Amino acid sequence: MLKDTSVALNNFDDMDQLEKVVMSSKDPETTLHEIAKSNNISPKELMRQMKKNKSSSNHNSFFNKFFSFSSKKELSNETDAKKLGIHVAFRNITYSIKNELEILKGISGSFIPGRMVAIMGPSGSGKTSLLDVLSSRKNTGIIKGDILFNGNKLTTEMSKNLIGYVEQFDTLVDELTVRQMLSYTAELKLPPNTTSKEKEMRVDEVLRMLNLESCADTIIGNGLQRGISGGQLKRVNIGLALITRPLVLFLDEPTTGLDSRTANEVIELLRDLAEDGRTVVCTIHSPTGHAFMRFNDLYMLHGGKTIYDGPVLGAQAYFEDFGFKLQSEASLPEWIVDISSSLNGTKFSKSFCGIENGLSKQDFVVNFDKSELKTTAEDRILLASEKRYLKTKGLYKNPSAFQNLKTLLKYRMVAHYKDGQFIGVRFGDKVVFSLLILSLYFGIGDEIDPESIISTSNLLYFIAALCGYGASAFVPSLTLERNLFYRELADGCYSPGTYYMAKFIEESVMATITSLVFCVIVYYGVSLQGSFGIFFFIYYLTTMIGIILAYAVAAIVPTMEAANALLPTLITVWMYFGGLFIVYDKIPKGWYWFSWTSFLRYSWGAMMLNQYQSSEMKEIPIFFDNDGNSQTILEFYGFEGSIMGSIGACIGIFICLICFFSIVGVLALVFIRHDKR
């Protein structure tokens, strides 16, 4: 304690003695707090006064040593448990978009295990961009510079295993409970040789660590279904990153949308994670004063350049040296951001910032470049860049695509099948339209009068077209899950092909049931002819191609509104070439090729052949040609020849179209990204 060593705060000539007391302790930061407390002064004020003291010849000695002590201690102590952590160093990082807009402008820095770092700065300063660059999550722009983890450059795949990344906004599966969500992530991310018992223990470990045991079996929920609280949502998101026990944890705005009490709880949790030896780095915009002081270090950006890199404890003294003064009514983090913002020209802002002598603008980049603080930061970067042991074996083998597919079906498909809204959308239109058809067309399918035959033919076309228009209900399945898909893709949970296959299987199983219900009502109620099995199979394939078209469109276009506008337009265009509104022989030559792309041509053709080809109705004359010769229903619509006169050929081409549009959907998921980061 300060009083015990006979060093008083009004005697700053004794700087060496004060420095000796603090620097000889095991934890200088804690000792400094004790010194300040024993003399009824805040640690920030003590640091400010010590730095302002000019009487000692080595007045900067303590300040500079304190800035670098923690990092040097942790970097040099080979036996410290924190040595098992990962030191992150980056040098001359530049990030630009198309060589036009430069977001990050040659910045450098380092983050060390056991300490929690806040990345702060005004809006647009490059905070999230820096976090994305360090975590290999940028998918646009040009990145230059060196990024080292324990002195090693990481591949993107290695980064996914060593780094835990927590998105700013919650991206969870609404229908799962907290425990199921963590178990689902564990099965997707943990190595394939991890046993079920080990995965269960890992989930329990995360639940205990994040204090989520009380809500472990509570559904996550959404805006329509009440679930866990906002603070619990944030902790679950953190838990997803902790499943793999990453040694580096990056968090983008972890307190966004939380009240001050909940935000403080989240920051306290992160501080505990850091003290366990992890490297914890957060971008944060407006933390509470309490939350801000729980960070060990502050890395501050302005306009894509570094303006501060050092302990949080020294930030106030550093900025007050430039003519600013923290007002009693101001919050320290808000004050720091405000004085470093270019928007400080208003009278209110000047008063809030405590600007003295008319000073309203500072070039903080130049000030930092000239400061001894930068020299200390550069020394720390050199130390953090030293090559250290980095475990690579056994970390990077993810579960196989087949295992990931089983996991997606086990959790996502089963959860959807228990969701009334999911089931209702898929059954609703089938039941409604089947009953409507039953009430209009009851029993006419076996009647042989021309009116009934033409009406039945039109009905079959209408049935095929309904599958296309009804597919709009499947567009949200992809668009609403897009943020979740991108997050899990960035986490290395699965590939786009695996995700698409899981969605395909999920819908194909459900379509089997819904198609069977529809076909039983319509086939027997209308008294359709031919094979029920063929009718059911054709209708099922038509339903599936509608779903696949919805997926392809949803993957290509950026919004759900655009997808819901484009899909019906495509279906309507294809309807003109399906053979009902204009027979094939009358389609202009320039357009005839396009008729072969219409799935309605093959769906309706196969249904018509099934209805009439083996029935006596195929011989009944319905129309007459220009020469006065009679034509059957199949002859008039052109269902003749080796292709359109064969059910097998129609089904074969139909399946080829399904495969083609499926490939389009998968390629769209792989190559088209709507989240430009």
359, pLDDT greater than 50: no
Q: Residue for token digits 């058809």?
A: 437
Question: Binning pLDDT at 50, 70 and 90, where does residue 30 land?
Answer: low
At residue 658, does pLDDT exceed 90? yes
pLDDT tens, 297-354?
999 999 999 999 999 999 999 988 888 888 777 788 888 888 887 544 433 344 445 4
Cα angle for residues 135, 141, 147 (degrees, 5° grid)? 35
Residue 516 pLDDT greater than 50, yes or no? yes
Surface-to-core class of residue 365, CB atoms within 10 Å of its CB (0-12 exposed, 13-18 middle, 19+ buried):
middle
Strand partners, 355: 324
Query: Nearest 5°: CA angle at 129, between 123 and 135?
Result: 145
pLDDT band at 25 (very low <50, low <70, confident <90, very high): low
Strand-pair category, 297-302 with 279-283: unpaired
Dist CA 607 CA 112 (whole Å) = 68
Alpha-carbon gap, residue 21 to 30, rounded angstroms: 12
On the question of pLDDT at 54 being above 50, the answer is: no
Q: With pLDDT > 90 as the criterion, what percentage of the chain qualifies?
A: 62
Residue 283 tokens, joined: 């971008």
Q: Do the beta carbons of residue 206 and residue 213 sit within 8 Å?
A: no
Looking at residue 398, its pLDDT comes to 81
- Burial class from Cβ neighbours inside 10 Å (0-12, 13-18, 19+) for residue 469 reads middle
The size of the chain, in residues, is 677
Q: CA 82 to CA 79: how far, in whole Å?
A: 8
Q: What is the pLDDT of residue 348?
A: 38
Given a cut of 60, whether residue 166 has pLDDT beyond it is yes
Question: Tell me, what's the pLDDT at 181?
Answer: 97
When the pLDDT of each residue in the chain is averaged and rounded to a whole number, the result is 86
- Of 310, 182, 188, which is closest to residue 239 (Cα–Cα)? 182
Q: What is the DSSP string of 411-451?
A: IIIHHHHT-HHHHHHHHHHHHHHHHHHHHHHTTGGG--SHH
Buried b (16+ CB within 10 A) or exposed e, 41-63: eebbbbbbebbebeebeeeeebb
| pLDDT mean over 174-195 | 94
| Rounded Cα–Cα distance for residues 278 and 608 (Å) | 67
CA distance 312 to 296: 6
Structure tokens at 42: 């805040």
What is the structure's pLDDT at 3?
40
- Which range, of 225-229, 300-304, 326-330, 371-375, averages the lowest pLDDT? 326-330
How far, CA to CA in Å, does 537 sit from each of 469, 544, 654? Answer: 19, 11, 11
- What is the Cβ-side half-sphere exposure of residue 373, based on CA atoms within 13 angstroms? 26
Q: What is the dihedral of CA 251, 253, 256, 262, to 10 degrees?
A: 50
The region of weakest confidence among 154-158, 243-247, 280-284, 418-422 is: 154-158
pTM: 0.84
Q: Which residues in 279-296 are b (16+ Cβ under 10 Å) and which e?
A: bbbbbbbebbeebbbbbb
* Residue 451: other Cβ atoms inside 10 A: 10
3-state secondary structure of 188: helix
Nearest CA to 243 among 194, 205, 294?
Answer: 205
pLDDT of 156 reads 76
Contacts of 225 (CB under 8 A, 6+ apart): 174, 219
86: pLDDT strictly greater than 70: yes
Q: Residue 374: is its pLDDT beyond 60? A: yes
pLDDT-derived band at 27, boundaries 50, 70, 90: low
Mean per-residue pLDDT, 657-676: 94
Is the pLDDT at 356 greater than 50? The verdict is no
Which token pair is 10? 């009004």
What does the alpha-carbon distance between residue 232 and residue 230 come to, in Å, rounded to a whole number?
Answer: 5
Minimum mean pLDDT range among 28-42, 197-211, 224-238, 517-531: 28-42
pLDDT at 358 over 50: no
Residue 68 has pLDDT above 50, yes or no: no
Angle among Cα 238, 30, 277 to the nearest 5 degrees reads 35
Among residues 308, 371, 359, 370, the alpha carbon closest in space to that of 336 is found at 308
Q: What is the pLDDT of residues 109-136, one digit of tens each?
A: 999 999 999 999 988 899 999 999 999 9
Q: Which tens digit of pLDDT belongs to each residue from 608-643? A: 999 999 888 878 888 887 777 888 999 999 999 899
- pLDDT score for 155: 79
State residue 502's pLDDT score: 97
- Measured between alpha carbons, how far apart are the two ends of the chain, in Å? 50
How much is the pLDDT for 59? 42
Q: What is the pLDDT of residue 49?
A: 61
Half-sphere exposure of residue 528: CA atoms within 13 angstroms, side-chain side: 29
Q: 470: which 2 tokens?
A: 């009804």
| Domains assigned to the chain | 3-79 (no CATH), 83-384 (3.40.50.300), 401-671 (no CATH)
How far apart (Å, rounded) are the C-alpha atoms in residues 338 and 354? Answer: 11
Close Cβ partners of 596 (under 8 Å, ≥ 6 residues apart): none
How many helices (H) does the chain have, and how many strands (E)? 30, 11
Encoded tokens for 240: 């997803």
Predicted pLDDT of residue 501 = 97
Average pLDDT rounded to a whole number, residues 69-95: 64
